[in-house]
Amino acid sequence: EERELEKIRTRNTSTVDGRDITLSANVEFNHEFPLVESSGAAGIGLFRTEFYLLGQGEIPSEEIQYQVYSEAAKCTYPHQAIIRTLDAGGDKLPAEPLPETEPNPFLGWRGIRVSLSRIGMFKEQLRAILRASAHGRLGVMFPLVSAIGELIVAKSILQECMEELDREGVAYDPGIEVGVMIEVPSAAIMADELAKEVDFFSIGTNDLIQYTLAVDRVNKHVSDLYKPTSPAVIRLIKRTIDAANDNNIWTGVCGEMASDLSLTPLLIGLGVDEMSVGTHQLPRIKKAIRSISHAQCAALADEALKMRYSADILKLSRDFAMAHY
């Protein structure tokens, strides 16, 4: 199998009936950048910056961040590298020590909420990303957006950073793609409005499943209730992709669901344009996509959308997967 995977490493990721999928990599640290190309990925679909930003006591300066994001841009060029702004809190480190522990950290001070209440810190990160965008093809996306107002404010701060750089005569890519993560049910429900404000969606299934089903993603006592193929989750994903298509923007999936070989037919059938997965699993996902027909997967997804039980949807997709790869 290793040899077969090596053979397709540099090949495109297209279904047997010719639908191209962008298969990109999830990374957390800059030492992983070289693995992106060697895994056969088309760039970085999710750079989770919080591990690198919060892992060393003090948040690195704009200058240091600029160097790291530039490295991402250069390593992946001509492909894209999507930098996610700080997603502190929840299951990750807090951005700063809080005066009291939060009773419900997943519903608390995390993601874009932190960035919007620490504008100075947020602007340093955005300026660093913009400056680095001059060295390749970067995208930027915002985590845990739960209302359109948050996206509008985040975009206006990004705009402000661009104007500052213009005044300073500093180069950046004015066409940098701006996206929003769809990982809160309210965002999926409002996807038709959010789609008018961005260039792409990236569905964060880890959180979308948790919030849709009210099942803590890290609590082992309820892990059997954590079901990626829940009909409610599938409908939210479908709704998100439809809204994106209606507005001519693309949709990716960067949650763990994209790494599950049993679910590749379902996601392809629902119509995702991009999937971002860990570099370790990436070659197998590429092989899976290259083994299936988009048309057949679309029929499978239509069938899945009529089902009432997560187990039935899982079985449908898994059986198809086992029959084809």
CA nearest 138: which of 65, 189, 194, 205?
A: 65
Q: How far is the CB of 253 from ligand PEP (least distance, A)?
A: 8
Task: Tell me the three state secondary structure of residue 272.
Answer: coil
Q: Which of 32, 177, 207, 273 binds ligand PEP (CB under 6 A)?
A: 207
Q: Are 230 and 213 in contact (CB under 8 A)?
A: yes
Shorter beta-carbon distance to ligand PEP: residue 48 or 135 = 48
Residue 87 touches ligand PEP, criterion: CB under 6 A: yes
Q: Which of Mg ion, ligand PEP, none does residue 254 bind (CB under 5 to 8 Å by kind)?
A: ligand PEP
Q: Which of 40, 32, 29, 35 is nearest to 7 (CA)?
A: 40
Please give the C-alpha separations between residue 173 and each of 86, 158, 252, 281, in angstroms, as whole numbers.
21, 12, 22, 31
274 binds ligand PEP (CB under 6 A): no
**By CB under 6 A, is residue 205 in contact with ligand PEP?**
yes
Does position 260 interact with ligand PEP (CB under 6 A)? The reply is no
Contacting residue, 94, 204, 271, 283, with ligand PEP by CB under 6 A: 204
**Can you read off the two tokens belonging to residue 92?**
């990750």
Q: Where are the alpha helices (DSSP H) in the chain?
A: 2-7, 33-38, 49-54, 62-76, 112-117, 119-132, 148-168, 185-189, 191-194, 205-213, 231-246, 264-270, 282-289, 294-304, 310-324
- For position 45 contacting ligand PEP by CB under 6 A, the verdict is no
Stretch that binds ligand PEP, among 5-13, 117-125, 200-208, 232-240 (CB under 6 A): 200-208
48 binds, among ligand PEP, Mg ion, none (CB under 5 to 8 A by kind): ligand PEP
Question: According to the binding rule CB under 6 A, does residue 173 interact with ligand PEP?
Answer: no
CB contact at 8 A, 320 and 312: no
| Nearest distance in Å: CB 139, ligand PEP | 15
* Site residues (vs ligand PEP, CB under 6 A): 46, 48, 87, 183, 204-207, 254-255
